[in-house]
């Protein structure tokens, strides 16, 4: 028997908040009939939006907050001044066991800082990482870290490999995900010291993941591995470069279809086929980056997304909770600690 589940939503984060958040919650309500919501934000603004759907109102508890973390706030400022913000109180609901996870489209740095402080990192994990899925030639892969840690040492990278492995198993359902370490070449001698050292540790075999080896940038979308591990600087640049390149292609193709009457007609005929490409690569479909390595489920939605994108981010939090991701990770990390995780990465 499936159980009911409660998710906390920060209603005030994101370019189109709070409308987008409430519309996204309404879409998620239909898709996930077992989910209830705790929604944090300006009650006067939220009430009329929520009341538009009686079913949503029935499954929602609103917590009024007047403080908001702004997108330009530094994480340190948000930590100090944002104690009563919608973001912070939504995270606290997870810490206090009132919600199984939190979803926010607000300031990434502030969300990470608050989530780290309130939820703390899992035993054996020094730093949390941001992970997300994206489309590849062979299906879907996940990459981490996408920007939480601009500098990472070999131990961090090995821990990300462990977290990514568990994430892909729990959420993508891949029994033995392959792990690739992003580098500038596939040979062992390639790369800087930390990536070489992480590669050596993972090759040794003490860490129980299926290590493929070093991969290069074009392996990301080729789907060469299920999980791509990298530092937050490189991961962030790679993710955004891929997004930019996708946009460039879409625009070039759109222009070309307008370039002649024949091409316009060709577009009309192939429109529904091209729509499938758009759907397959729709960034909203892959919206919802997960903060891995914390004692709680925290999902960051893209700030510029719409209701559909936000509903998908809620879906990620739902999937993780339903699959018992945290319990599995805790159990695995405890096992690893027994055989000496620190020994493996030291």
Residues that bind a copy of itself (CB under 8 A): 74, 135-137, 147, 150-151, 182, 184, 189, 191-192, 216-222, 230, 232-234, 236-253, 256-257, 259-260, 262-263, 265-274, 276-277, 280-281
Closest to a copy of itself by CB, 91 or 239: 239
Minimum distance of a copy of itself from residue 172's CB (angstroms): 18
Other CB atoms within 10 Å distance of the CB of residue 66: 12
Closest to a copy of itself by CB, 28 or 215: 215
DSSP-derived pairing of the beta strands 227-229 and 139-144: parallel
Closest to a copy of itself by CB, 230 or 295: 230
> Which ranges constitute the DSSP H helices of 205-260?
217-222, 232-257
**What is d(CA 108, CA 323) in angstroms, rounded to the nearest whole number?**
25
Other CB atoms within 10 Å distance of the CB of residue 61: 14
Minimum distance of a copy of itself from residue 196's CB (angstroms): 10
Q: Which pair of structure tokens corresponds to residue 322?
A: 């339903």
Closest to a copy of itself by CB, 83 or 271: 271
251: CB partners within 8 A, 6+ apart: none
Q: Indicate the angle between helix axes 193-204 and 154-167, nearest 10 degrees.
A: 50
Minimum distance of a copy of itself from residue 143's CB (angstroms): 10
Minimum distance of a copy of itself from residue 12's CB (angstroms): 21
Minimum distance of a copy of itself from residue 260's CB (angstroms): 6
Assign residue 223 a region (left: φ > 0; alpha: ψ between -120 and 50; beta: otherwise): left
Closest to a copy of itself by CB, 42 or 219: 219
């Amino acid at each position: 028997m499936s159980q009911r589940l409660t998710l906390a939503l920060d209603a005030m984060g994101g370019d189109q908040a709070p409308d987008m958040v409430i519309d996204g919650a309404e879409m998620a309500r239909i898709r996930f009939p077992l989910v209830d919501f705790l929604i944090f934000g300006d009650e006067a603004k939220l009430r009329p939006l929520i009341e538009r759907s009686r079913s949503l109102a029935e499954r929602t508890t609103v917590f009024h907050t007047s403080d908001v973390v702004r997108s330009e706030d530094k994480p340190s400022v948000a930590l100090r001044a944002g104690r009563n913000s919608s973001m912070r109180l939504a995270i606290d609901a997870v810490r206090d066991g009132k919600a199984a996870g939190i979803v926010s489209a607000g300031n990434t740095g502030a969300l990470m800082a608050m989530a780290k402080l309130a939820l703390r990192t899992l035993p054996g994990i020094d730093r949390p990482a941001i992970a997300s899925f994206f489309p590849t030639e062979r299906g879907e892969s996940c990459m981490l870290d996408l920007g939480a840690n601009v500098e990472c040492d070999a131990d961090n990278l090995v821990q990300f490999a462990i977290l990514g492995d568990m994430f892909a198993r729990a959420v993508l359902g891949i029994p033995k995900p392959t792990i690739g370490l992003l580098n500038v070449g596939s040979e062992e001698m390639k790369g800087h010291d930390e990536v070489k050292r992480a590669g050596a540790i993972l090759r040794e075999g003490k860490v129980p993941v299926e290590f493929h080896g070093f991969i290069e940038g074009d392996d990301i979308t080729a789907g060469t591995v299920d999980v791509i591990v990298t530092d937050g600087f490189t991961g962030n640049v790679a993710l955004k470069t891929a997004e930019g390149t996708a946009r460039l292609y879409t625009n070039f193709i759109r222009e070309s279809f307008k370039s002649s009457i024949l091409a316009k007609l060709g577009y009309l005929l192939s429109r529904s086929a091209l729509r499938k490409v758009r759907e397959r690569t729709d960034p909203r479909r892959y919206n919802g980056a997960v903060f891995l390595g914390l004692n709680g489920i925290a999902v960051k939605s893209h700030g510029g997304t719409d209701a559909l994108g936000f509903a998908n981010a809620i879906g990620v939090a739902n999937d993780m909770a339903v699959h018992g991701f945290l319990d599995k990770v805790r159990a695995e990390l405890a096992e690893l600690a027994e055989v000496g995780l620190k020994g493996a990465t030291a």
